[in-house]
Chain A
Amino acid sequence: MSERKRVVIADDDDDIRGLMTIAANRAGVEIVAAVDNGSAALAAVQAGGIDLAVLDISMPGLNGVEVAEAIRADDGTRSTLILMVSASVQLLTDHGVVADRSDSFIVKPFSPRVLSTRIREMLELGEPA
């Protein structure tokens, strides 16, 4: 059995973070960290070996865009995929957030089923057993 993909989840809302965690678990990935701020998320990614970071944009401290910029700027983490999440379409489309700093995005409110499917697609995982 191949090693499970490693994922970091960041959202300052406990309930949403819980929902993301459930969706990620259903996608069959290993959740390395589920944190409520950008700094912790960046630290978790920079610790290495992370395949995907699911980042909310609006977070205290470093926001999702700043975390994504730091991940992209670091050679050690540049290959980590980024899935951006926001309640605001405008925040996602403004300033080239989606185009320049992330690999995919999803708008709140999201369906856990859709998030799970998106994570599997991004990590090129097959259908869950």
Chain B
Amino acid sequence: MTLDRWLSRLPLDSPSAFMKQVPTIVGFAIAALIAALPNGVPITNAPLFLAGIALVVVATVFSLIIPWRHLHPEWAVVIPVLSLLAVGLLRLGTGSSASPFVVLTLLPFVWIASEAGRINILIASLTTFVVLLAPLVVDGATRSAGDVVRAFFSPVIYLIVAIVINEIAHRMRVQLAAAREAGDRQETLLAQAVQAQDELVLNEARLKTANRLIQSIWNAVTEQSVIGTDLDGLIDVWNPGAEKMLGLTEKQVLDGKYHIIDFHLSSELAERLQDMDARFTTVSSTDDFSALVDTVRAGSADVRDWTYVRPDGKRVVVQVAATPRIDENGHRVGFIFVATDMTEAREFARLKDEFVGLISHELRTPLSSILGYLELLRDDDEDPLSEEQLQYLAVAERNAHRLLRLVGDLLFTAQVESGRFPLDIKDVELNTVVAASVESARPVAANAGVTLVAEVPDHTVDVRGDTLRLGQAVDNLVSNALKFTPSGGTVTVALRHEGDEAVIAVRDTGIGIPAVELSQLSQRFFRASTATRNAVPGVGLGLTITKAIVTAHGGRLDIASEEGVGTSISIVLPVETPRPVTEAIPHVEVAP
């Protein structure tokens, strides 16, 4: 083992009481050795000499056996104090003032002075003062003037040295504490850095997983084109769906600096700009690109039908959802256009329209014959029918009309299903609509023995809508209410304003609808169990149609019912429609 490695094992940076005592022990051992030599320092007082040796041994034993670190560490100063007194005894035993062993004083003195606390300066100085002054007391008769001066002068010097040592030790302790604190801080920072690195690795793994997922989704979207542009419309995102739909690869588009409007029909863009201008929308500029994104710039997503034009000239009918593209700071940096090929959907709608038209013709034509010839029978003045025959005729006519209504309802439902039924949007005075419905239902109500009440306010309630369709909706509700209300009951049709909404509430005192069936009421062909149980005629299309009409006007149906008490169905319509109804409700056409 090398000296360096041996020394490195010594706990010199944090010495125990015993380690601090070692230099004193060594000093005493050397002194004892010198005193024992034949020509060494003579022992003038053997008891004091031995007492000094014994005292330093006791101090050393204390340093070994007492667990100073666990007690009050500052009390360990007792050991150098005892050692200092031992030096005093040693000195008295080896020539008193003339003893060369006074130099041993330095070892415990430095220990005491270097301990923390100013009190140790006093302890070191006073103990040293006692040691140095002892010969004067013990050898009082033999002291010289020089001895006296040295005895009083030396403690003063020791006091100054004690102050200096204490201060230096204090500063070193402060620096050591600061160094330790810095070390601790560095350790903490290192631990944090390691943790941050671990999190970074974890996040990187997550990011890779997310990127792979996005990439998979991105590659999987082959039936919709996703095109991203900057704020000016220059394309910088082009998915596989766009490649398939428009016949250009991502590289071709990005290298070719294509603009989104390069794939649009210019006539459609011009038409849209004209339309925007006509409707005083928030047209921020009038370039072609604005036709695509003006609504998005105003803060809303925009879903609209367009025609894409491929580089080979082929056209693709698409429905495009345009949305803002947002960066990590929430700023809009461009636009995203997600387009769905509507070619098949349009063809399907066209076929459905054709089918509806065909059915319309094929069902109405025989009904036309039936009703027409029945009327001829009734109007035959030359050979009039008997009363009984006229009654039979009335039954046939009533059922033919019923069939005609059913055909009409079915056709209308088919139009609603296909998302295409015409609305003639104008200013509508609901007071007139409600009054007309109530008046036309009065004969039926009278026959059924039901009281029909209209509650219409004096002021007019106006909305934007289709008069005929809204009338049809109210007719349906009133007709239903009359059918479901037993004789002696009451049907009330109330019109009122509620905030920004107009409400037409049709209340009856009828058989009601079970609560569990309320949500199914507006489904096609659904009939409430109370209706089938009470054999109320109908096929379950009235509310479907009513709901479709109301929804197309941007309104809603509120339904409340209690079995055996009655039902209240309200048509709630917006009074002010800031945008044309077609904008608010997709797939509804407005008649020119």
Contact = CB atoms under 8 A, between A and B. Distances in A.
Interface of A: 13, 15-16, 19, 22, 58, 86-88, 90-91, 93, 108-113
B361 A90 contact: no
A87 B366 CA distance: 10
Nearest to B363: A87
Contacts of B363: 87
Contact of B368 (A16, A22, A58, A90): A16
A88 B368 contact: no
Contacts of B364: 87-88, 108-109
B71 interface: no
Given A90-B357, A93-B591, A109-B404, A19 B372 contact: yes
Given A93-B591, A113-B379, A87 B372 contact: no
Contacts of B460: none
Contacts, number: 55
B375 interface: yes
Contacts of B376: 19, 22, 112
Nearest to B362: A87
Contacts of B375: 111-113
A112 B404 CA distance: 17
B458 to A, nearest CB: 36
B368 A87 contact: yes
Interface in B349-398: 357, 360-361, 363-373, 375-376, 379
A22 B369 CA distance: 12
Nearest to A17: B369
Contacts of B369: 13, 15-16, 19
A110 B372 contact: yes
B365 A91 contact: no
A109 B591 CA distance: 24
A5 to B, nearest CB: 22
Given A108-B364, A109-B404, A16 B357 contact: no
B422 interface: yes
Contacts of B591: 93
Contacts of A15: 366, 369, 373
Given A90-B422, A93-B591, A112 B361 contact: no
B361 A19 contact: no
Q: Which 3 A-B pairs have the closest CB atoms?
A: A87-B364, A109-B368, A15-B369
A16 B361 contact: no
B409 to A, nearest CB: 14
B422 A16 contact: no
B589 to A, nearest CB: 11
Contacts of A113: 375, 379
A109 B370 CA distance: 9
A88 B365 CA distance: 10
Given A88-B357, A88-B360, A88-B361, A110 B422 contact: no
B350 to A, nearest CB: 13
Given A112-B372, A112-B376, 20 more contacts: A15-B369, A16-B365, A16-B372, A19-B369, A19-B376, A22-B376, A58-B361, A87-B361, A87-B363, A87-B364, A88-B357, A88-B361, A88-B364, A108-B364, A108-B365, A109-B370, A109-B372, A110-B368, A113-B375, A113-B379
Interface in B330-363: 357, 360-361, 363
A65 to B, nearest CB: 13
| Of listed B375, B404, B422, B591, residue having the most chain A CB within 10 A | B375
A22 B375 CA distance: 12
A48 B367 CA distance: 34
Contacts of B368: 16, 19, 87, 108-110
A96 B515 CA distance: 48
Interface string B505-530: 00000000000000000000000000
A58 B375 CA distance: 24
Contacts of B370: 109
A18 B125 CA distance: 144
A22 B371 CA distance: 14
Interface string B428-442: 000000000000000
A16 B404 CA distance: 16
13 contacts: A13-B369, A15-B366, A15-B373, A16-B365, A58-B361, A87-B364, A88-B357, A90-B357, A91-B357, A93-B591, A108-B364, A111-B375, A113-B375
A58 B368 CA distance: 14
Contacts of B357: 88, 90-91
Contacts of A93: 422, 591
A114 to B, nearest CB: 9
A7 B368 CA distance: 21
A22 B360 CA distance: 24
A109 B367 contact: yes
A13 B373 contact: no
B379 A87 contact: no
A113 B360 CA distance: 23
A8 B542 CA distance: 40
A91 to B, nearest CB: 7
A33 B380 CA distance: 25
Nearest to B421: A90
Nearest to B378: A113
Nearest to A96: B592
Nearest to B415: A90
Contacts of A110: 368, 372
B414 to A, nearest CB: 12
| Of listed B364, B370, B372, B376, residue having the most chain A CB within 10 A | B372
B371 A109 contact: yes
B360 A87 contact: yes
Contacts of B372: 16, 19, 109-112
Contact of A87 (B365, B371, B373, B422): B365
Given A109-B371, A109-B372, A13 B360 contact: no
Contacts of A108: 364-365, 367-368
Interface string B272-311: 0000000000000000000000000000000000000000
A93 B371 CA distance: 24
Nearest to B400: A109
A111 to B, nearest CB: 6
A86 B370 CA distance: 16
A93 B591 CA distance: 9
Contacts of B422: 90, 93
A19 B369 CA distance: 7
